[in-house]
Amino acid sequence: MKVHNFSAGPGILPQEVLKKSAEAVLNFDNLNLSLLEISHRSKNFINVMEEARALAKELLGLGDGYQTIFVGGGASLQFAMVPYNLLKTDGKAGYLNTGVWASKAIKEAKLIGETVVVASSEDKNFSYIPKKYAIPSNLDYLHITSNNTIYGTQLKTFPITPVSMVCDMSSDIFSRKIDASKFDLIYAGAQKNMGPAGSTLVIVKESILGKTGRKLLSMLDYSVHIKGESMYNTPPVFPIYVSLLTMKWLKENGGVEWIEKINNKKANLLYAEIDRNLMFKGTVEVEDRSNMNANFVMTDNGKSHEVEFEKMTKEAGISGLNGHRDVGGYRASMYNALPVESVEALIEVMKAFEQKFA
């Protein structure tokens, strides 16, 4: 049976990428060796790294002045590395608090230096994106989270600010056209929208580095990773390779512009059904709804039939629909690799459920 994978993370990857990745584990580049058992300094792997570093920038429309590195430790390590590398010992960082991930980033920054929260939506359980707020002009940087994976909210526009902007794009990188040059640093854990867990993409404008007045531990220093061409130490070779294949898949099919149309279509279809269907309702401010993660709950009509709904989704091959353990309900994650047909399959079940029990 075909499985429709709505998992929030690690999330769905293109079938052809998985196939090629599996092949490379057995026989990489016709070397009769596994990708997993060759030197990362071999020509074959250096090509992978160089291509991946260049393609990430290309897909974001970024040019000279920016450097791409792939590091371990997940997006969570970036919560610490960002302030460690950018927050001056006598400086101040600003954060937009739009969810659990943003809150965790704030917690780390506070351990490193002065940190202010410029705006927060915690008052309404992160169900909206704060809009009108002042950004102090003396910040070393402003940190935002473009897509809030757990709550299903997304920044549709980015703040206009004179200070450096840093963005956690873990769950919507390469999903829509953005002006990436507005950011001095972008990071994304691979496992939501670009590859397996284990590697984090960091793209940084080199000119902002080296200004904190702090001596940095090598492994936590962006400059060290850049100087080492993202191979200061053994990089996570497999996640980087799969991320490269996913980026190539995206480029060959028409790039971010192509996927944005599909992502809009999927989100429009599903939200229309959530709004129409008597059994379900959305949980966040309509204008802030995420195109990547759609959260919804049962209305009073539906509530006593949750078990039946779960049975029906399971029978239709729908997987990964449970909401985050902190928020409950349902969450349909519609990352780049999720086909429109999967959304249509979910909608069909929602309709059948309504017909049966409303």
Ligand X SMILES: *Cc1c(COP(=O)(O)O)cnc(C)c1O
Q: Which of 6, 70, 101, 335 binds ligand X (CB under 6 A)?
A: 101
Q: Which of 67, 85, 98, 171 binds ligand X (CB under 6 A)?
A: 171
DSSP SS3 for 81: helix
CA gap 80, 103 in Å, rounded: 12
Which range binds ligand X by CB under 6 A, 25-33, 164-172, 283-291, 317-325?
Answer: 164-172
Establish if 42 lies at the interface with ligand X (CB under 6 A): no
Residues 3 to 22: which contact ligand X by CB under 6 A? 9
Active-site pick, 101, 140, 248, 266: 101
Q: Which is nearer to ligand X, 192 or 248 (CB)?
A: 192
Interface size with ligand X, residues (CB under 6 A): 12
CA gap 166, 341 in Å, rounded: 35
Q: Where are the alpha helices (H) located in 140-254, listed in sequence order?
A: 222-227, 237-253
CA gap 342, 337 in Å, rounded: 10
Cis omega (within 30 of 0) on the bond before 10? yes
Read off the tokens for 203. Answer: 């793209």
**207 phi and psi, to 5 degrees?**
-70, -15
Read off the tokens for 288. Answer: 């802030």
CA gap 6, 167 in Å, rounded: 24
Active-site pick, 140, 184, 192, 248: 192
Residue 92 bridge partners (DSSP): 114
Establish if 175 lies at the interface with ligand X (CB under 6 A): no
Which range binds ligand X by CB under 6 A, 72-80, 207-215, 278-286, 307-315?
Answer: 72-80
Establish if 76 lies at the interface with ligand X (CB under 6 A): yes
| 8 Å CB contact between 333 and 8 | yes
Q: Which of 115, 145, 193, 283 binds ligand X (CB under 6 A)?
A: 145
Q: Which of 83, 113, 130, 189 binds ligand X (CB under 6 A)?
A: 189
Q: Is 101 a catalytic residue?
A: yes
What is the smallest separation between the CB atom of 132 and ligand X, expressed in angstroms?
23
What's the Rg (C-alpha) of the chain? 21
Establish if 108 lies at the interface with ligand X (CB under 6 A): no
Catalytic positions, written as ranges:
101, 168, 192
The contact set with ligand X (CB under 6 A) reads 9, 74-76, 101, 145, 149, 168, 170-171, 189, 192
